[in-house]
Amino acid sequence: MPLEVVLDYDRGIPVYRQIYEHVVLALSSGRLGRDEQLPTIMELAAQLGINPNTVARAYRDLERDGHIVAKRGRGTFPAAQRRPPVDREQILGDIYQRAIAEGARHAIGAKEILRYFRKAFHDESTS
């Protein structure tokens, strides 16, 4: 199944980061198979109507974090075995910032988001 990326310019999240998130989600959900080639930088840039440098940055970050591997002359593929994240605090901070930004788009404050997470955690741990 081809990689499907939908950009939302109103999210307040840089485009390269949205591409990164789409690839990670596609990998973790199984929509992007472990042996399936990702589109080339030029193909994805043309498909999304964006600058190829933006896609290159997303792919560079994905490779740095161990999600994908570029094979010279063959293309870019999901990494055979993903490395654990290097800086969990940074990742958690990024998740927090995205949740706050997304909440703000819908007029939902940080306290309400935190209350929801606590309730969801409580509901999940009691089931």
pTM of the model: 0.67
Distance from the Cα of residue 93 to its chain's centroid: 14
The whole-number pLDDT of residue 94 equals 83
- CA pair distance 84, 32, nearest whole angstrom: 19
Which CATH code for domain 15-78? Answer: 1.10.10.10
pLDDT in tens, 3-52: 889 999 988 889 999 999 999 988 888 888 888 999 999 999 999 999 99
Q: What is the mean pLDDT of residues 100-126?
A: 87
Q: Judge whether 56 and 41 are in contact, CB under 8 Å.
A: yes
Query: What are the residue ranges spanned by the domains of the chain?
Result: 15-78, 88-126
- Name 76's bridge partners: 70
Q: Which of 32-36, 75-79, 89-93, 109-113 has the lowest mean pLDDT?
A: 89-93
Question: In percent, how much of the chain has pLDDT > 70?
Answer: 91
Tokens read off for 111: 């306290």
How distant, in Å, are the alpha carbons of 4, 116, 126 from that of 122? 34, 10, 6
